């Protein structure tokens, strides 16, 4: 919702970003992670009913997620900062569909055998090699979408092939995993999650990064969906199937667009992301031209300008406007709101004039990249989240007011200026985050997870963790998959969709 | 918890032979080709000793683990070898002259840890430097020293360990610390807290036991918050007794300080598992505040001299009474040389008639038999019914509202001092550390019954 706000395009960078790009020329590569809920009576690691959704709750739990130690055995500055600007995470419980397992107050029961069987069927449909022993792993998520802080997941099959447009699409792996919570609300420092869906079994089909155009992406999603449904053992309907789409262009980076609900939505999202990466690579080149070669070359200074802007005409920066927002959003101290005074902060970015307003996705600029980080990590979410000198709002006295702020922040004409507001400690986090985002920009495309917006664009969701976030689930013993069991399941397999077409 | 140098750790029988023949070992980076032509690239992991001897466990580059049947493996190619390093780089724990001194004694179990993602191993953090890396907030609270007393799982704690621990606590207090924290597995934390309440007397400073219900390697663990609460309580709290500091509700809200003799683990896995039974907790502790719930405790006083009294006789046991119990079980205990029997009786402290003669025989042979209630809440009031009166006549000592486990630890401690029936009786009935309380407040027994509309309304208004 907040991400769909539009910034006016920078005057100096009004490129024809809506237009087409040559996907082959930019080296577009897309892989899929297709998730389908399984039609089981019970959840994956407890005996709660699967598929029973509720819109009310009868219990609430408050948790926080603490990052576990990094590879170096210590928190670096960023991790500690992220922890200090931590989210209050609230889980809504209803007795009809969750037990103490989902609350993370009871260890898992033995994994649902039926779920493994369905996953094996799906593997066989895709020509996967089924593993001999299923090992449950934990995949860390710190956003609160799972109360443990990790998702229980296991590989069931690998090395499959899917006939696709006259070639073979690689199925890297099929895993079975527990579904996450449904988000109810995410404001400031508070995230609220509903737990009914949590723990339902789903299969994840991962393809190689072999799709070359948005059209292929849509078609492959539909095909994999049909394979799953052909056994009659996956759920259908709203939310039963979701996909993550991994997009990169040559020289770019794998970016995961998370939770794409329908295949038809994937096209525009892939296009926007391809464009975004191309533009971010151009920005990188521009930064290099200006002498910002490495992340450490990015400098930043910030000062509090609350007093300066008290009587400014610009509504966004006035305390009353912030207080109205806090009241309208019912933000409570200690929950949505951090402790501390209201502050307006001017951030000077030396030598970066003109880069904030550069194009990125269709209708967006680099300012959206900054705003995404500020919204998620500094938790400042009052629209328009930030203001910047490349596109200062137009109103009487705009020029004078911007000039005063620039003077206060000691900006030279070469410097970019960004202004944020909110609780003081959050504005400091925002300033640091903006510097970090620019530091990333010197290297091109950051490795991140992005959420899909209704208009076909994406917004920052979190930094994408690598395989480093996986470790064995010591609460669950490995499960044997005998060849006899695999053969038994093979007997009743339906004809694959491509078989019927032939 | 033992480290072995076995290059094929955990692999037995056929899997071991096969791996040996193929010339690979644990931590080998390998490419495995199976009979279907699938290729798996990753690291060979140690295998759990309880698993079968037919599979090889590989951690793939994606982070997932899979088990591969040795009969389906066609070839294994070793690409490299990199041993897992079970070590945490240390950071200097910052010293601040103005902050209180706290010592953390380790008994086993992990309070903090880090993950080795390459292998998935969980590596415990314990030294101040390691803990500073895991829970940096501690540096704002105190100057921390740590001492590893031993490394056993909580269920393997025993009398020898209790003595060592009591002496270690005494040493730290003599050395002038402002508080002692004991890291402990939660399963028998209540037993240790009870026995330390008797072995460590007259403490000038708080002695706080702490652990975690959710392992510290997970982002949602209660370990860090429990440790912060415990260290705060040791450094700044006013209760100079042995106490347990664990989550109040299951939500990340606050910890409760429970008196060592009146506390019990009440759920096998919940975070809020520890409850004060028959009384109310001592204090509520959060990241910033102490909220004392009672003023009946021994306050901190640096002039008090601690007394360590680590005597024991471990020939004690609990007999959990059940209908139809036969007398031979009592005779067997006597025959085996047990010197003390705690009965967890029904109701007000009862057992059935057929057991009476056996108990009588036991007492005649000098065995000390005491009565507690298996209801946990309430008093052994054996004078109320004839059954109880008969038991009193036999010479069974009623322990009022002492918890059965506390009674067990106490009787073992008392029998380290004397075997004289009257002296044992007097010591058992004397309340050293609130193990018997004269009054049970009505909020000392509070188990809300779920399902009732008024309970549900209340529960919904609170963090669980
Ligand atoms: Zn459940």
Instruction: Residue A368: give its domain's CATH number.
Output: 3.30.1360.30
Residues 6+ apart with CB under 8 A from A217: A30, A32, A211, A245, A266, A267, A270
Distance between CA atoms of residues A261 and B108, nearest Å: 48
pLDDT of residue A466: 62
**Structure token digits, residue B58:** 């590989």
- Assess if residue A256 is contained within a domain: no
Is it the case that residue A11 has pLDDT exceeding 90? no
pLDDT of residue A70: 47
Residue B51 shares a structural domain with residue B148: no
Residue B244 shares a structural domain with residue B387: no
| B151 C-alpha to ligand 1 centroid (Å) | 34
Instruction: Nearest chain A residue to B251 by CA: give it.
Output: A62
Query: Is B53 designated active site?
Result: no
- Token pair 């309380």 is found at B437
| A100 C-alpha to ligand 1 centroid (Å) | 6
- Domain total for chain A? 2
Residue B393 shares a structural domain with residue B415: yes
Strand partners, A129: A158
Residue B294 shares a structural domain with residue B411: no
- Assess if residue B107 is contained within a domain: yes
**Structure token digits, residue A381:** 């979410």
pLDDT of residue A12: 34
Question: Of A496 and A279, which is predicted with more confidence?
Answer: A279
- Assess if residue A73 is contained within a domain: yes
Is it the case that residue B461 has pLDDT exceeding 50? yes
- Assess if residue B455 is contained within a domain: no
Chain A residue numbers with beta carbons less than 8 Å from the beta carbon of B48 are 477-478
Residue A413 shares a structural domain with residue A496: no
pLDDT of residue A496: 86
pLDDT of residue A238: 84
Task: With H, G, I as helix, E, B as strand and everything else as coil, classify residue B83.
Answer: coil
In this prediction, residues B128-138 reach a mean pLDDT of 83
In this prediction, residues A396-419 reach a mean pLDDT of 96
- Token pair 């450094």 is found at B235
Is it the case that residue A467 has pLDDT exceeding 70? no
Residue A139 shares a structural domain with residue A173: yes
Domain coverage including residue B239: 101-308
- Domain total for chain B? 3
pLDDT of residue A465: 65
pLDDT of residue B133: 75
**Structure token digits, residue A410:** 């000691």
In this prediction, residues B78-93 reach a mean pLDDT of 76
Residue A128 shares a structural domain with residue A12: no
| A146 C-alpha to ligand 1 centroid (Å) | 13
Strand runs labelled E in A141-240? 150-164, 167-178, 182-187, 190-194, 201-207
Provide the pLDDT confidence category of residue B90 given band limits of 50, 70 and 90: low
- Assess if residue A265 is contained within a domain: no
Provide the pLDDT confidence category of residue A388 given band limits of 50, 70 and 90: very high
Average pLDDT, chain A: 90
pLDDT of residue A92: 98
Query: Is B62 designated active site?
Result: no
Residue A366 shares a structural domain with residue A437: yes
- Assess if residue A275 is contained within a domain: no
Provide the pLDDT confidence category of residue A299 given band limits of 50, 70 and 90: very high
Q: Which of A16-25, A53-62, B30-39, B435-444 has the lowest mean pLDDT?
A: A16-25
Is it the case that residue A95 has pLDDT exceeding 70? yes
Instruction: Evaluate whether B202 touches B173 at the Cβ level (below 8 Å).
Output: no
Is it the case that residue B132 has pLDDT exceeding 90? no
Task: Check which CATH number belongs to the domain holding B19 and give it.
Answer: 2.30.30.520
Residue A455 shares a structural domain with residue A483: no
pLDDT of residue B116: 65
Distance between CA atoms of residues B227 and B207, nearest Å: 13
In this prediction, residues B299-308 reach a mean pLDDT of 97
Residue B204 shares a structural domain with residue B330: no
In this prediction, residues A3-29 reach a mean pLDDT of 60
In this prediction, residues A373-377 reach a mean pLDDT of 93
Distance between CA atoms of residues A65 and A189, nearest Å: 12
Q: Which of B299-308, B401-410, B444-453 has the lowest mean pLDDT?
A: B444-453
Provide the pLDDT confidence category of residue A104 given band limits of 50, 70 and 90: very high
Residue B108 shares a structural domain with residue B27: no
Query: Is B186 designated active site?
Result: yes
Distance between CA atoms of residues A216 and A228, nearest Å: 18
- Assess if residue B4 is contained within a domain: no
Is it the case that residue B410 has pLDDT exceeding 80? yes
- Assess if residue B390 is contained within a domain: yes
Distance between CA atoms of residues B348 and A337, nearest Å: 52
pLDDT of residue B352: 94
Q: Which of A32-46, B142-156, B431-445 has the lowest mean pLDDT?
A: B142-156
- Residue A445 DSSP code: S
> Mind listing the pLDDT tens digit for each residue in B245-269?
999 999 999 999 999 999 999 999 9
- Assess if residue B278 is contained within a domain: yes
Distance between CA atoms of residues A196 and A102, nearest Å: 9
- Assess if residue A335 is contained within a domain: yes
**Structure token digits, residue A475:** 């609460």
Interface pTM, i.e. ipTM: 0.91
pLDDT of residue B120: 63
pLDDT of residue A275: 96
pLDDT of residue A210: 98
Which one of the listed residues B119, B186, B188, B387 is annotated catalytic? B186
Residue A107 shares a structural domain with residue A208: yes
Phi-psi region of A127 (alpha: psi -120 to 50; beta: other; left: phi over 0): left
Residue B361 shares a structural domain with residue B268: no
Residue B200 shares a structural domain with residue B257: yes
Task: Check which CATH number belongs to the domain holding B133 and give it.
Answer: 3.40.50.1170
In this prediction, residues A254-261 reach a mean pLDDT of 93
- Residue A439 DSSP code: H
Residue A338 shares a structural domain with residue A368: yes
Distance between CA atoms of residues B405 and B344, nearest Å: 9
pLDDT of residue B301: 97
pLDDT of residue A7: 39
Residue B335 shares a structural domain with residue B413: yes
Contact B218 A468 (CB under 8 A): no
Residue B293 shares a structural domain with residue B334: no
| B120 C-alpha to ligand 1 centroid (Å) | 26
Q: Strands A133-134, A342-349: parallel, antiparallel or unpaired by DSSP?
A: unpaired
Residue B304 shares a structural domain with residue B320: no
Chain B residue numbers with beta carbons less than 8 Å from the beta carbon of A105 are 213, 250, 267, 269-271
Is it the case that residue A192 has pLDDT exceeding 50? yes
Residue A93 shares a structural domain with residue A130: yes
Strand runs labelled E in A391-477? 416-423, 448-452, 458-463, 470-472
Give a three-class secondary structure readout of A275-309: HHHHHHHHHHHHHHHCCCCCHHHCCCEEEECCCCC
Domain coverage including residue A383: 2-17+286-463
pLDDT of residue A464: 72
The nearest CA of chain A is from the CA of B104 a distance in Å of: 20
How many CB pairs lie under 8 A apart between chains A and B?
167
Distance between CA atoms of residues A398 and A402, nearest Å: 6
The nearest CA of chain A is from the CA of B125 a distance in Å of: 9
């Amino acid at each position: 919702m907040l991400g769909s706000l539009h910034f006016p395009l920078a005057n100096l960078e009004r490129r024809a970003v809506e237009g087409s790009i040559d996907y082959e020329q930019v080296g577009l590569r897309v892989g899929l992670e297709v998730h389908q809920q399984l039609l089981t009576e019970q959840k994956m690691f407890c005996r709660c009913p699967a598929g029973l959704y509720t819109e009310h709750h009868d219990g609430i739990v408050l948790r926080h997620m603490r990052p576990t130690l990094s590879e170096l055995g210590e928190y670096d500055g960023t991790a500690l900062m992220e922890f200090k600007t931590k989210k209050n995470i609230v889980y809504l419980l209803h007795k009809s569909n969750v037990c103490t397992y989902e609350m993370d107050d009871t260890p898992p029961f033995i994994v649902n055998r039926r779920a493994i069987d369905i996953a094996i069927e799906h593997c066989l449909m895709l020509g996967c090699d089924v593993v001999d022993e299923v090992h449950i792993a934990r995949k860390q998520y710190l956003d609160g979408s799972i109360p443990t802080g990790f998702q229980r997941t296991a590989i069931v099959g690998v090395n499959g092939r899917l006939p696709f447009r006259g070639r073979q699409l690689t199925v890297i792996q099929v895993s079975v995993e527990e579904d996450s919570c449904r988000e109810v609300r995410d404001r400031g420092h508070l995230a609220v999650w509903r737990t009914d869906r949590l723990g339902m079994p789903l299969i994840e089909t991962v393809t190689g990064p072999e799709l070359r155009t948005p059209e292929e992406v849509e078609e492959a999603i539909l095909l994999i969906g049909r394979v799953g449904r052909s056994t009659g053992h996956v759920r259908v309907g709203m939310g039963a199937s979701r996909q993550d789409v991994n997009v990169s262009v040559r020289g770019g980076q794998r970016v995961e667009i998370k939770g794409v609900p329908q295949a038809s939505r994937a096209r525009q999202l892939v296009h926007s992301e391809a464009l975004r990466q191309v533009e971010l690579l151009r920005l990188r080149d521009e930064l290099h031209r200006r002498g910002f070669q490495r992340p450490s070359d990015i400098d930043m200074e910030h000062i509090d300008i609350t007093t300066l802007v008290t009587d400014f005409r610009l509504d966004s920066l006035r305390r009353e406007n912030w207080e109205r927002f806090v009241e309208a959003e019912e933000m409570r101290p200690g929950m949505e709101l951090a402790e501390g005074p209201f502050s307006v902060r001017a951030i000077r970015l030396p030598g970066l004039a003109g880069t904030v307003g550069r194009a990125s996705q269709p209708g967006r600029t680099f300012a959206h990249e900054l705003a995404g980080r500020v919204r998620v990590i500094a938790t400042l979410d009052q629209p328009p989240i930030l203001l910047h000198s490349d596109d200062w709002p137009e109103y009487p006295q705009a020029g004078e007011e911007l000039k005063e702020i620039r003077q206060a922040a000691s900006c030279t004409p070469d410097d970019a200026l960004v202004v944020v507001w909110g609780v003081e400690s959050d504005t400091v986090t925002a300033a640091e985050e903006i510097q970090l985002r620019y530091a990333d920009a010197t290297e091109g495309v950051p490795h991140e997870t992005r959420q899909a917006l209704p208009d076909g664009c994406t917004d920052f969701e979190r930094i994408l963790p690598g395989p480093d976030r996986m470790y064995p689930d010591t609460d669950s013993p490995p499960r044997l998959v005998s060849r006899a069991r695999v053969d038994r399941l093979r007997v009743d397999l339906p004809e694959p969709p491509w078989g019927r077409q032939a | 918890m033992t480290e072995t140098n076995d290059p094929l750790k955990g692999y037995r029988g056929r899997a071991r032979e096969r791996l040996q023949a193929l010339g690979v070992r644990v931590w080998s980076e390998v490419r495995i080709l199976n009979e279907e032509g699938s290729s798996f690239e990753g690291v060979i992991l140690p295998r759990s000793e309880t698993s079968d001897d037919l599979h090889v466990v590989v951690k793939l580059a994606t982070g997932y683990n899979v088990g591969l049947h040795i009969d389906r493996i066609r070839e294994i190619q070793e690409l490299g070898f990199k041993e897992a390093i079970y070590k945490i780089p240390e950071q200097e724990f910052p010293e601040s002259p103005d902050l209180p001194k706290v010592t953390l004694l380790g008994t086993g179990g992990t309070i903090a840890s880090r993950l080795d993602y390459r292998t998935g191993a969980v590596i415990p953090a314990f030294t101040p430097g390691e803990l500073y890396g895991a829970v940096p907030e501690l540096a704002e609270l105190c100057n921390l020293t740590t001492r590893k007393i031993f490394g056993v799982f909580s269920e393997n704690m025993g009398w020898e360990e209790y003595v060592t621990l009591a002496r270690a606590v005494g040493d730290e207090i003599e050395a002038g610390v402002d508080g002692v924290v004991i890291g402990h597995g939660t399963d028998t934390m209540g037993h240790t807290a009870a026995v330390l309440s008797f072995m460590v007397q007259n403490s000038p400073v708080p002695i706080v036991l702490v652990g975690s219900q959710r392992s510290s390697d997970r982002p949602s663990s209660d370990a860090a918050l429990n440790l912060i609460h415990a260290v705060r309580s040791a450094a700044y709290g006013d209760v100079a007794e042995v106490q347990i500091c664990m989550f109040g509700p299951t939500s990340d809200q606050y910890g409760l300080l429970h008196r060592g003799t009146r506390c019990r683990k009440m759920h096998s896995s919940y975070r809020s598992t520890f409850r004060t039974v028959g009384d109310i907790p001592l204090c509520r502790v959060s990241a910033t505040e102490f909220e004392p719930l009672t003023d009946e405790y021994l306050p901190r006083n640096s002039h008090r001299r601690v007394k360590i009294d680590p005597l024991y006789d471990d020939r004690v046991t609990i007999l959990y009474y059940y209908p139809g119990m036969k007398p031979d079980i009592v005779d067997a205990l006597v025959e085996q040389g047990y010197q003390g029997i705690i009965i967890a009786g029904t109701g007000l402290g009862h057992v059935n008639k057929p057991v009476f003669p056996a108990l009588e025989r036991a007492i005649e042979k000098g065995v000390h038999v005491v009565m507690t209630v298996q209801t946990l809440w309430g008093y052994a009031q054996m004078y109320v019914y004839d059954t109880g009166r008969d038991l009193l006549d036999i010479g069974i000592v009623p322990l009022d509202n002492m918890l059965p486990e506390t009674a067990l630890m106490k009787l073992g401690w008392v029998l380290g001092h004397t075997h004289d029936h009257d002296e044992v009786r007097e010591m058992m009935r004397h309340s050293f550390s609130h193990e018997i309380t004269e009054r049970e407040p009505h909020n000392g027994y509070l188990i809300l019954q779920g399902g009732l509309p008024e309970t549900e309304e209340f529960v919904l208004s609170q963090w669980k």
